[in-house]
Amino acid sequence: MLLAEDHRMAGLVTFHGRLYSIKPHIRSMFKPKFFIYSFLNPACKTRTIYLIRSMDKNILRLELAVCALVTAAFTNIYITQPILPVLETEFQVTTVHVSFTVSFVILGIVISNLFFGYLSDRIAIHPILLAGGCMVAAGGVVCSLTHDVNVLIGARFVQGLFIPALTTSLAAWLAKNLPQEKLSVVMGTYVAATVLGGLGGRLLGGWIHPPLHWRYAFWSAAVLIVVTTLVAVAVLPQSNNESKQESDRAGAASSDMGFVRLLTRPDLFPIYLCGAAGLLMFSPIFNYLPYRLSGAPFGFSTQMITLVYLVYILGIFLGPVSGKISQRFGGGNTMILGCAVLAISLGLLLVPAVWAVIAGLLSLCAGFFTIHATAVGLLNRKLSHSQGRANALYVLFYYAGGWIGITLAGFCLEAWGWPGVVIGVAAFLFVPLITGLRERRR
């Protein structure tokens, strides 16, 4: 199999039942005696090339499995977002009530994220993935069968509780088991899969399946999560590094103190708030976009509204770009730039024209992903250790902001309409702006 944890700093592949390190074979290919020996003994050259190709195939399989599972997991989060008006009419409930089908998934993620990060350090990844996949799929089946909106919301909450079993625990496993030179590649695939899954869920709920047949979307998502979970369990190798597990247990007693220290550090806390404020501003716009576009003066169908969500794919490309801008001009300047773009986007979204909505959504994605990527970069640059716990806290604040934003913006929509949503989220721009100004002075 691939990359046992006790050999994490060496690329390992199997050859006739034995583990080999790829690095010595790669180095030897550039020595003169290799070419002489390989001419006399071709098996040497054949085995080296076989090892290189075998490692590449194993990494490719791992990347595909990670991408598929994370995409399937994130598909379940936003599956009801483009059909909120349809659900509101079918269940005869208020806008705020039906928005819980999205916000309660995020609330579940907030509650269980730290737990699954903790659990993944102490037991094997395979039972965590199987439990998470089964519970998310079961929740989807319940959603497809129920005719009670509260049962639908409850099942969505259960899905949210177990989505981190497929995402947070998988990210922790990758960090512990992959060599450093391969980790950045696979984690890049992981981040892209989160964006792809967010887009896929919206397309599945509002475009691939007709809106009035939204229940089939949950069946499709359930089948997808089961298949990708089984593939991931089959592809991911067992990890047997007992010394690492013992050190994790020894550090467990002080992990809570580690969280407290990370939470109270004055240079880190504003960055956590940036993550919360970023998703707090971003999520409500996309969540209540169907209400804006289905009414006057647009009158879009659900399928047309769902296609507008394609602007979300911009996030796949903006993360790396924001990182390069931050490295060149500094995190503070990049954060301020993201705030400026986000402010322009919110202004455009108030203009009652299709071109303004498209331009506003594109710039909204640009501003949000710039703030988000810059905040994550600043967080990790300020840490020499405990990056795992710090990033777990960031994710906790991030999704808590999304849940708060969607919930509060629902009340704003009912009271003041679309302008209330836009102006309400704009009030939180000061959080990343102040953080950017502080970082610029350092």
Interatomic CA distance for residues 35 and 123, integer angstroms: 46
Average pLDDT, the chain: 81
Q: What is the pLDDT of residues 26-78, one digit of tens each?
A: 344 334 443 344 444 544 444 444 444 445 567 778 888 988 999 999 999 99
Q: DSSP readout, 166-206?
A: TTHHHHHHHHHHS-HHHHHHHHHHHHHHHHHHHHHHHHIII
More confident site: 23 or 150: 150
Task: Note every long-range contact of 185-191, with CB atoms under 8 Å and residues 24 or more positions apart, other chains counting.
Answer: 185/59, 185/63, 186/59, 186/62, 186/63, 186/66, 188/320, 189/63, 189/66, 189/67, 190/66, 190/67, 190/70, 191/319
Interatomic CA distance for residues 113 and 395, integer angstroms: 8
Give the helix/strand (H/E) hosting 334.
helix 331-348
Q: What is the pLDDT of residues 260-279, one digit of tens each?
A: 888 999 999 999 999 999 99
More confident site: 56 or 315: 315
pTM over 0.85: no
Helices (H) and strands (E) in the chain, counts: 20, 2
Residue extent(s) of CATH 1.20.1250.20 domains in the chain: 66-239, 265-442
Specify the pLDDT at position 3: 39
Cα–Cα–Cα angle for 415, 418, 423, nearest 5°? Answer: 85
Interatomic CA distance for residues 10 and 372, integer angstroms: 32
Look at residues 196, 194, 199 and name the one whose alpha carbon lies nearest to residue 171: 194
User: 265-442 has which fold?
Assistant: Growth Hormone; Chain: A; (1.20.1250)
β-sheet bridge partners, residue 18: 15
Residue type, 170: L
CATH number of this structure's domain 66-239, picked from the four choices 1.10.10.60, 3.20.20.120, 2.120.10.70, 1.20.1250.20: 1.20.1250.20
What tokens appear for 2 in the block?
Answer: 């691939």
Instruction: Give the mean model confidence (pLDDT) for residues 164-190.
Output: 76
Instruction: Tell me which of 57-61, 170-174, 229-233 is least confident.
Output: 57-61
What are the C-alpha distances in Å from 16 to residues 1, 4, 41, 54? 11, 17, 19, 12
Q: What is the DSSP letter of 82?
A: G
Number of residues in the chain: 442
Specify the pLDDT at position 145: 96
Find out whether the peptide bond into 297 is cis, omega within 30 degrees of 0: yes
Burial class (CB in 10 A: 0-12, 13-18, 19+), 117: buried
pLDDT score of 426 more than 70: yes
Instruction: Give the mean model confidence (pLDDT) for residues 16-32.
Output: 40
Look at residues 302, 57, 8, 52 and name the one whose alpha carbon lies nearest to residue 174: 8
pLDDT score of 122 more than 50: yes
Q: At 412, is the pLDDT very low, low, confident or very high (cuts 50, 70, 90)?
A: very high
